[in-house]
A and B are shown apart, each in its own frame.
Chain A
């Protein structure tokens, strides 16, 4: 069965500093990879996804993630964060074979300090 590990439950950073949120997965078959964001009192929104092609994917608000197959990782990065990036971030995988479901990590709470 597949699993997803987000290595940090909380990440505090200062505004305009860079940030990396780490995600590792385990699967015996190929996967699709996702990052979702949850702002306070809201549902989950897709931030970015890797399905195929370039291993570096970007979002419209400056986040990027790189699929590293050898290290089974999909870390999320942003070179300069803003107060409005304060949210909880979830990494997820789905399998290209087998059960049609999305499996999530435990979440990382990103707190931006002024």
Chain B
């Protein structure tokens, strides 16, 4: 089975802190994604990556950055956390570069910024 592991289920951070959310997949997938999930808004894409050291902006990249130094690991960085970044963050991976035929999701990280 494909496994996508997010390093924390719950995080509480203070406004202005730098926050790292880590995601690891174990199936040698090409593509990795970061989404945030908010009630009534569904899942919105923050950033995605189809190769090591490559990244593409999604629909809501402002206030976020990402890092993909190794194929299996995709990190989401909040440079200076703000209360409007309180949300559920979901990482996903998919196998084939160029097409998304299926995506596998981690359990999510619920981030609260106080």
Contact = CB atoms under 8 A, between A and B. Distances in A.
A90 interface: yes
Given A4-B42, A32-B100, A43-B108, 13 more contacts: A32-B99, A34-B103, A43-B4, A43-B105, A44-B105, A46-B102, A51-B101, A96-B99, A100-B31, A100-B48, A100-B99, A104-B42, A104-B43
Contact of B41 (A4, A42, A96, A106): A106
Interface residues of B, number: 29
A94 B101 CA distance: 8
B100 A101 contact: yes
Nearest to B107: A43
A44 B104 CA distance: 8
Contacts of A78: none
Interface of A: 4, 6, 9, 32, 34, 36, 42-46, 49, 51, 90, 92, 94, 96, 99-107
Interface of B: 4, 31, 33, 35, 40-45, 48, 50, 56, 58, 90, 92, 94, 97-108
Contact of A94 (B43, B100, B105): B100
B48 A32 contact: no
Contacts, number: 67
Contacts of B103: 34, 46, 102
Given A43-B105, A101-B48, A107 B42 contact: yes
A90 B31 CA distance: 20
